[in-house]
Structure 1
């Protein structure tokens, strides 16, 4: 595979690409892990450069002082190549002005007309080419400088000067992560480690940990014969594998990571998660999970000291032993945390009992722990719906939409429990990788808001699934290249289906979504529809599409929702039938599920202190 060139990365980072170039750039990144890592490295370098390149603003008197100095001096004459030219050279009296100049004045340029020089007139293309070459040269210098600074910051450690080390407080400031992580690192909750273990030419280096009683994050990297290599060589053996032939048992991972207390007993945790940052891996390990039978602990029950044990037994295709036990003291992080028990509940008319159990604030995040349970009213509702429908859909699913507001009514956190990610329009300040749910218990994590006072919890609505009986029939033209438009009104929902559009092998179509865009490449057909739902209906989902004979048609789909001020939804939806050369005579579209949004009016204050 031909990897992307330096100039292509720089054009992308400086928004100097066309729409088609951006599409091709993203398409290559989807296939190439090397270029994804390279892009992330350049992004980290840019962040570092932004941090280090800050220059205080000039004083208001700067320009007037410079002009006063210029007017008081005469030009100096000198000869070069037998031509007499004029070069202005100044020597200021800096007394009393030392703090008004951020750097010494190095040189002045004089217009060519004053020097009697005639330059050939450049064409527009020549000027553009010269500007591009100059910009690329500057970018390369900046990239080289920032790369050097980043390597110095992350590898030299104690050999950095105190001034430079003050800028580079933590690797977590430059990893691509949420603002809560960066805030905790800035506040001194990052712990340098630099523990190493070497075997078979590979050196595993545990670099740094970010401390929070809600979750520990620990970064490590890998070297082979002294050169950095990707930690994916370790993590690909940290997954459960499919059962071998003749067995129904999953194969446990070869490489494991344990969280231990001071007596070397494993600390219960939900599941290991991790993220890649260039060549590094950051492990996320919850110290305490309340999902195990709803066990709720006070902050003082969390141990002051824990250990993270790396049990790495295979790197790539090489077997060996890379075991290291890392001590972690979290007393400082505990002192900066605030966990509060809650005893608040609401019984909805649907028969769902919603209980708020605990509010937790840590250095890197805030977390709400809650529980929902079903009553006889809910069970009867499900029984009645299942008797009416024949299709296997998740009628017992539900989702919550709530907001946490401050005294001024500002939303500091919000959870939108819609089943599809693109429909979660109400999310506010969530930490996406930190949602856990099991047995009616849920932990929702947010950017830290522990400094807010007089908070109010407001439950806005509950989402549920209901069976839907609807069939849309589209008729193709004689050439089987498009379909007739169709408008249908069903239970207050207006559906407008546009004529289907055919796409060639070289064609690329991009549609704008709520988060990013959807791209359809190559031969096929694109079907677009608009749906305007009445208040109380959020979505038609679980679509099946068949031809006139009932044969299922394969497709990919995207949607772009909008929610009006009154809470009603308008949705654009696209179906892409990749590789289809000719349309069937008929296409029958059937959504099986209607997602309802039931308005709820329950609010309760949340404590600021235990």
Structure 2
């Protein structure tokens, strides 16, 4: 194998360096332990296949395949048709840096997350991984080797191949893999009508689709530039509404919010938020909705 190192700065001096040197992989191959596994488990419309485990002196690397079942494929197609999220085929010259809603949704449905633990024969957890964006939810990450982590979406976009790296497992030992969580995206049904005059005077509580949101205050940001409001910095004009929420059981995150005023004018919404898991096991959220480009106070949202 030939290892290549390229650089434009070395020791603080700018230049153009290209260094190549041979690496003898015989010793590495001699100590590589490769185990075919091929075990399958199906849950929530996803087939999870633990393909293999490779251990080298610096790390162990485990390969998973996650595949849609026929039921999952049919459900996603139904959601797309119901919401008008069908992605049209494009010619190469039609692609731009702007993603359509349909393309964003397609990406979400393709994204499949896992959380798992590996235990030794005594039941001690030696490895833990969690794909959740909020690491504090489950607090199970342990002995990960981050630069060994990667994934590849299948060509048909109906699954992924994932590689997870962690500190090397001991040769000749027996281990148990425990699946902790499976993360999938699905359409939300949450909707609410907020009287802004009431929001200015008092807290407004909304319950929809087993979510509860407590909204407090309404503030207009009237400048285009950067402005710090509370603990966060915002760019552009818009309106801010603080909130706290309890999400439905099994839901750990929300994304892609939108709003509209009484004239049916639509606005994009971004969130600054903090997540915790309550004693009830459900996810609790605090944060701020930023309704972009809303320039005057509406009667309702």
- Specify if TM > 0.5: yes
Partner of 2:282: 568
Larger Rg, first or second structure (1 or 2) = 1
Partner of 2:20: 325
1:352 aligned to which of 46, 51, 56: 46
Partner of 1:381: 75
1:486 aligns to 2:207 (yes or no):
no
Partner of 2:163: 444
Cα displacement (A) at 1:358:
1.0
Q: Deviations over 1:403-423 (max 9, x none)?
A: 2233444433333344xx347
8 Å CA contact 2:271–2:288 kept in 1: the answer is: yes
8 Å CA contact 2:197–2:299 kept in 1: the answer is: no
CA 1:376–1:476: 2 relative to 1, 3 Å: closer
Cα displacement (A) at 1:541:
2.4
Cα displacement (A) at 1:457:
0.9
Flag the structure with more relative contact order, 1 or 2, with Cα contacts below 8 A and sequence separation at least 6: 2
Partner of 1:311: none
Cα displacement (A) at 1:532:
1.0
1:544 aligns to 2:238 (yes or no):
no
CA 1:220–1:386: 2 relative to 1, 3 Å: closer
Q: Distance in 1 between matches of 2:282 and 2:134?
A: 16
CA 1:378–1:550: 2 relative to 1, 3 Å: same
Q: Report the TM-score, using the length of structure 1 for normalisation.
A: 0.38
Partner of 2:114: 400
Partner of 1:229: 13
Q: What does residue range 271-290 of structure 1 map to in structure 2 within 5 Å?
A: none
Partner of 1:369: 63
Partner of 1:45: none
CA 1:555–1:468: 2 relative to 1, 3 Å: closer
Partner of 1:496: 214
Cα displacement (A) at 1:328:
1.7
Q: Distance in 2 between matches of 1:362 and 1:416?
A: 23
Cα displacement (A) at 1:458:
1.2
Equivalent residue pairs, number: 269
Q: CA RMSD in A?
A: 3.8
Q: What does residue range 47-66 of structure 1 map to in structure 2 within 5 Å?
A: none
Segments of 5+ residues of structure 1 without an aligned counterpart are: 1-212, 234-314, 316-321, 512-518, 589-610
- Which structure shows the bigger proportion of residues in strand conformation? 2
Partner of 1:106: none
Q: Distance in 2 between matches of 1:417 and 1:341?
A: 24
Partner of 2:195: 475
Q: What does residue range 248-267 of structure 1 map to in structure 2 within 5 Å?
A: none
2:267 aligned to which of 553, 557, 565: 553
Partner of 2:96: none
Segments of 5+ residues of structure 2 without an aligned counterpart are: 86-101
CA 1:579–1:475: 2 relative to 1, 3 Å: same
What secondary structure sits across from 1:329 in the alignment? coil
Cα displacement (A) at 1:495:
1.4
- Which structure shows the bigger proportion of residues in helix conformation? 1
Q: Deviations over 1:131-179 (max 9, x none)?
A: xxxxxxxxxxxxxxxxxxxxxxxxxxxxxxxxxxxxxxxxxxxxxxxxx
